[in-house]
Structure 1
Amino acid sequence: MLFNTTRSVLYLLSFIALIVVPFNFLSAQNLSNIFEPSVEISLTPTNPGPNTPVTATLTTNSFDLNAAFIGWAINGKVVSQGVGEKIFSFQTGAGGQIIRLEAILQIPNSTDVVRRQITIAPAELDIIWESRGYTPPFYEGKARAVLQSTLVFTAIPQIYTQNGKVPASDLVYTWSKNKSVLQGSSGYGRNFIVIEQDFLSRPFTLTVVVTTRDGQITVEKSVSINPGKPELVLYEEDPLLGFRLEKGITNSFDLQKEELWLRAVPYFSDISDRGNGLTDAMWRMNGHTVKEGPLEEKLVLRRPSGVEEGRVNISLSVENENKLLQSLQESFSILIKPITNNSVF
């Protein structure tokens, strides 16, 4: 009876061994295939543009990189190798020149080799913006961003893949204002955005992230806007020469002829409000209203009969009911002096 019991125990132990031993053998022989080391390549900058210095860095928690033999290859050609070469620096080419960067690592005290590859497609991104504010003809420059102005921002990406340049309409745009995503203005093909500044009109930073549809290429750009104030400038209008835009009237104007034509230019105020009855002007002379109406209309002042010398104070106020921060005021003095017969001809 005891012999039978002993033999049963031996059979049971043999059965357990048959189960356990093959499992341990399989695990020991194929551990590297089942649990491949985690190795990552990171780039600085993350999304490099054309002709940009780049640093690639390897990281892992699976083995000691300082003891590993590491090779770096660009487009299939080994360009750097050595023990512990976990950092590699290079430079991207022109836009459209795709780089395939590969790291080949031999794990210390092992014949196992780990490969990691990353594709770099240098991309460029610009943001251009324009204000819908007014500037007179032949004004050099563009309208500035001012309080409560309407601004239009357009993203101009230069992104390339193996198939060539990606059309701007075939990219995904994510717009953010002060790091807050503007969901309603973001999406596929939405490469421009209109910003209507509110009554506060604080400085802000607008950012756009442009991504290919497969998410493989991403590029980012930001622009900062600090709204200023619109300006009201008064000019003399000559019957023959027209607007005298080369010199605005500031503190005073010498009147040495029979009459003076005045026009006002509201630099950088929204043109959508001009000419629609929303921007009204009120001219005053020595505190008395002498003209009300659209800002586009000129003011004609005639020399008082028999007056050789004198002084008249002129002021102009412009009200914008829709955008109160674009309401403006300006004033100057007219110094009446004896008439001269100077001619430009």
Structure 2
Amino acid sequence: MKFRLLLPYFLTAFLVFCVVQPIEIFAASSSNILVDVTPSNPAPNEDTTITLSSYANNLDSVLIQWSVDGKNVSSGIGQKSFSLMAPASGSQAVILARISLPDGELEKRIIIRPSVMVLLSQANDSYVPPFYKGKALPTADSEIKVVAMPEIKINSTLVDAKNLTYAWKKDYTNMPGESGYGKNSFVYVNDYLEDSSNISVTVSTVNQDFSVDGNINIGMSIPKINFYKNDNTLGTIWDIALSDPYQIQGPETIVAVPYFISPKEIQNPRLVWNWSINDSIINILGFKKNVIPLQPQSGASGTSKLKLEVENMDKIFQTVSKTMSVEF
């Protein structure tokens, strides 16, 4: 069965990562006592364990005393581990481990300063329709922006994000050109050969007293096309995409939406739109490229195959197609 054109009068973070300032460790004397903090970046109010080890001393047979903020909290022979709850954001805990070795006393000082950070990501040039509730997702060769939103408090005062330094990494490689004072965002182009990218950042105060780090894995999506009905009175019905097969009773106008394709201006001449019905190319005049009017022949009934292919002439991996059976 055939279709003919209607007359001209018919018409993308969030990802949340809570991380804290890396532990600062200050040795009071010999450095042969090693300190491990688990997790290495405890979040505010998170259970944290500190463990001592040594390559030169037998810590299992010596007295070890632990204190927090000057208050003795635990001691014992061979007590190499100590657990506590990390303080709230903007506060700090000073932990002192006093180790009584046969040849003298050693001290290890650990400072925990939790902070919080959120990383948000979105594709800059990925198309989504008006009123779309989600975010634009990245596809092959998309431009992606990651924004760091640190929450570093000093004496309960939140430090302005513009007054912090940012050290960005992409796939564990330093990005010095995108790093620096006040640079709280990072923009890159997604590699079409990779399924995902890891973006990380360390944010610090200028004096390095407080810092927080975070990372985010950003996956690559695939463009997809949905078909929607355009109503002469209500406009495009965005609530639900057309099902396959789709039945029409008379003249209808179909709107195609290529989700997440690049560029996000879908009327861009670099995007080539090819409509076909029953594998025959249809040239549409007087309509936008993403719109096709349909009308069954008078007295005819049956099923036809409607197909659309959208291709970016500059990006070979930015191609998407959709086929739908139309019953009439």
Query: How high is the TM-score relative to the length of structure 1?
Result: 0.76
Change in 2 beyond 3 A, CA 1:172/1:293: farther
Q: How does 1:29-44 map to 2 (within 5 A)?
A: 36-38=29-31, 39-44=33-38
Between the aligned partners of 1:248 and 1:218, the Cα distance in structure 2 is: 47
| Structure 2: runs of 5 or more not aligned | 1-27
- Residue 187 in structure 1 maps to residue 183 in structure 2: no
Do the aligned residues in 1 keep the contact of 2:87 with 2:113 (CA within 8 Å)?
Answer: no
More moved, 128-137 vs 245-254: 245-254
Q: Deviations over 1:115-155 (max 9, x none)?
A: 33222111222211112322223323222232222221111
- Structure 1: which amino acid aligns with 2:91? Q
Between the aligned partners of 2:325 and 2:54, the Cα distance in structure 1 is: 77
Q: State percent identity of aligned pairs.
A: 29
User: How much does 1:163 deviate?
Assistant: 7.1
- Structure 2: which amino acid aligns with 1:85? Q
- Residue 136 in structure 1 maps to residue 106 in structure 2: no
- Structure 2: which amino acid aligns with 1:50? P
User: How much does 1:253 deviate?
Assistant: 2.4
Q: How does 1:205-244 map to 2 (within 5 A)?
A: 205-244=198-237
Between the aligned partners of 1:167 and 1:183, the Cα distance in structure 2 is: 22
Q: Deviations over 1:45-66 (max 9, x none)?
A: 2222211111122344565433
Partner residue in 2 for 1:26: none
Q: Deviations over 1:189-232 (max 9, x none)?
A: 22211121234243222222233333344433222222121011
Between the aligned partners of 2:149 and 2:283, the Cα distance in structure 1 is: 50
The secondary structure found in structure 2 opposite 1:323 is coil
Change in 2 beyond 3 A, CA 1:89/1:199: closer
Partner residue in 2 for 1:159: 152
Q: How does 1:1-345 map to 2 (within 5 A)?
A: 36-38=29-31, 39-60=33-54, 63-108=57-102, 112-132=104-124, 133-162=126-155, 164-257=157-250, 259-286=251-278, 287-291=280-284, 297-304=290-297, 306-336=298-328
Between the aligned partners of 1:313 and 1:290, the Cα distance in structure 2 is: 16
Change in 2 beyond 3 A, CA 1:331/1:42: closer
Do the aligned residues in 1 keep the contact of 2:267 with 2:289 (CA within 8 Å)?
Answer: yes
Partner residue in 2 for 1:6: none
Do the aligned residues in 2 keep the contact of 1:309 with 1:335 (CA within 8 Å)?
Answer: yes
Structure number with the bigger relative contact order (C-alpha 8 A, sep ≥ 6) is 2
Change in 2 beyond 3 A, CA 1:127/1:277: same
Q: Deviations over 1:20-76 (max 9, x none)?
A: xxxxxxxxxxxxxxx953345432222222111111223445654334332211111
The secondary structure found in structure 2 opposite 1:324 is coil
Between the aligned partners of 1:311 and 1:88, the Cα distance in structure 2 is: 73
User: How much does 1:282 deviate?
Assistant: 2.6
The secondary structure found in structure 2 opposite 1:275 is coil
Change in 2 beyond 3 A, CA 1:62/1:320: closer
Between the aligned partners of 1:100 and 1:195, the Cα distance in structure 2 is: 39
Change in 2 beyond 3 A, CA 1:60/1:294: farther
Do the aligned residues in 1 keep the contact of 2:196 with 2:218 (CA within 8 Å)?
Answer: yes
Q: Deviations over 1:276-313 (max 9, x none)?
A: 32223232233032326985552222343x33424433
The secondary structure found in structure 1 opposite 2:284 is strand
More moved, 47-56 vs 260-269: 47-56
The secondary structure found in structure 1 opposite 2:305 is strand
- Structure showing greater Rg: 1
Change in 2 beyond 3 A, CA 1:198/1:68: closer
Q: CA RMSD in A?
A: 2.7
Q: Deviations over 1:83-141 (max 9, x none)?
A: 33222111112211211111223333x6x543332221112222111123222233232
Aligned residues: 298
Query: How high is the TM-score relative to the length of structure 2?
Result: 0.80
Do the aligned residues in 1 keep the contact of 2:257 with 2:290 (CA within 8 Å)?
Answer: no
Between the aligned partners of 2:289 and 2:30, the Cα distance in structure 1 is: 74
Between the aligned partners of 1:55 and 1:146, the Cα distance in structure 2 is: 41
- Structure 2: which amino acid aligns with 1:125? M
| Structure 1: runs of 5 or more not aligned | 1-34, 337-345
Partner residue in 1 for 2:15: none
Change in 2 beyond 3 A, CA 1:294/1:101: farther
Change in 2 beyond 3 A, CA 1:160/1:130: same
The secondary structure found in structure 2 opposite 1:126 is strand
Between the aligned partners of 1:218 and 1:130, the Cα distance in structure 2 is: 25
